[in-house]
Structure 1
């Protein structure tokens, strides 16, 4: 039964994840965290951060890891297979059809209509992660600082997000303990 659940979860992601990895992330979260409860939001955020720091397509890394975690080696193969099959079939069929009609207004409209939906999905997931980070040991102040610094580094300085994630993970590893414990304890004492 678990293998069937892994297959269906990642098959749905493969079917509905229009636009690549970033648009598939909220779908993976919905399946893994909300529907099947294989991990909580915090664990999902950790998996997402690590997957972003490694090379390759993010959706396949997540399908492989989550499939392995839930169903072992066969779960990994199953998750990867389920995620990739819809993409392969759609690429072959739809690209041939769309290429024939690429100049038609309805095809251009269809492609343009998907962009705002994906943007809303990503914004919703981002807000959810931000709310969770503010409730962690970081608190509102440090969460906002990290968001603003990351935004400046990525958009102004053009630092790749994986480098920022890797630097933060390395910093946490070297530090060994959270520098934000005092702020979290202050917040707990107030409540």
Structure 2
């Protein structure tokens, strides 16, 4: 029964995730956190960040992770197949139709009309993650500085997002390592007194 639920949840994500990975993230959140409660909000946020840092499509990485959490390797396989299957079927069935009718006003209008919906879904999810990150941050000025530097690097220096993520990971690792060492050395000093 759990495999069937996994298949249906990820198949729905695959069907309604028009536009690729970023548009699928809110669907993953709704199915896996809100509806089935397979992962907590914190786990989802952490693993979304990790999935964004790794190469490859985000949908398959999230499906594999959540499927694995629910039912091991077989769950990961079922979730991945289910999330990819709608795309494969749609490509096979509709590719010829799209090529024949791609210049038709109705098809062109439909494609143009969906773009604002994708932008709004992405903006809402970004805002929710920004709020959660801000609330969970112990160092508000550091979080604000990281956000500002990221925006400047992306918009003004036209740095590739992968490079920005890599730099953020390196600095985060360095800061976390420094903070843990500082905490340990402070704790040892207190024990000796």
- 2:121 aligned with 1:126, yes or no? no
Q: In the TM superposition, what are the counterparts of 1:1-191 in structure 2 within 5 Å? A: 1-138=1-138, 140-176=140-176
Aligned residues: 180
Which structure 2 segments of 5+ residues have no match? 184-193
Cα separation, 2, equivalents of 1:99 and 1:138: 53
Using a 3 Å threshold, how does the CA distance of structure 1 residues 77 and 54 change in structure 2: closer, same or farther? Answer: same
Cα separation, 2, equivalents of 1:34 and 1:178: 36
Cα separation, 2, equivalents of 1:2 and 1:102: 40
Give the deviation of 1:104 after TM superposition. 0.8
Question: Contact 2:48/2:62 (CA < 8 Å) preserved in 1?
Answer: yes
Taking only aligned residues, the RMSD between alpha carbons, in angstroms, comes to 1.9
Report the TM-score, using the length of structure 2 for normalisation. Answer: 0.85
Using a 3 Å threshold, how does the CA distance of structure 1 residues 147 and 158 change in structure 2: closer, same or farther? Answer: same
Give the deviation of 1:113 after TM superposition. 0.9
Cα separation, 2, equivalents of 1:178 and 1:63: 34
Give the deviation of 1:147 after TM superposition. 2.2
Question: Contact 1:53/1:165 (CA < 8 Å) preserved in 2?
Answer: yes
Report the TM-score, using the length of structure 1 for normalisation. Answer: 0.86
SS in 2 for 1:55: coil
Which structure 1 segments of 5+ residues have no match? 182-191
Cα separation, 1, equivalents of 2:71 and 2:169: 27
Question: Contact 1:8/1:82 (CA < 8 Å) preserved in 2?
Answer: yes
Give the deviation of 1:177 after TM superposition. 5.6
Using a 3 Å threshold, how does the CA distance of structure 1 residues 2 and 133 change in structure 2: closer, same or farther? Answer: same
Bigger relative contact order (CA 8 A; separation at least 6): 1
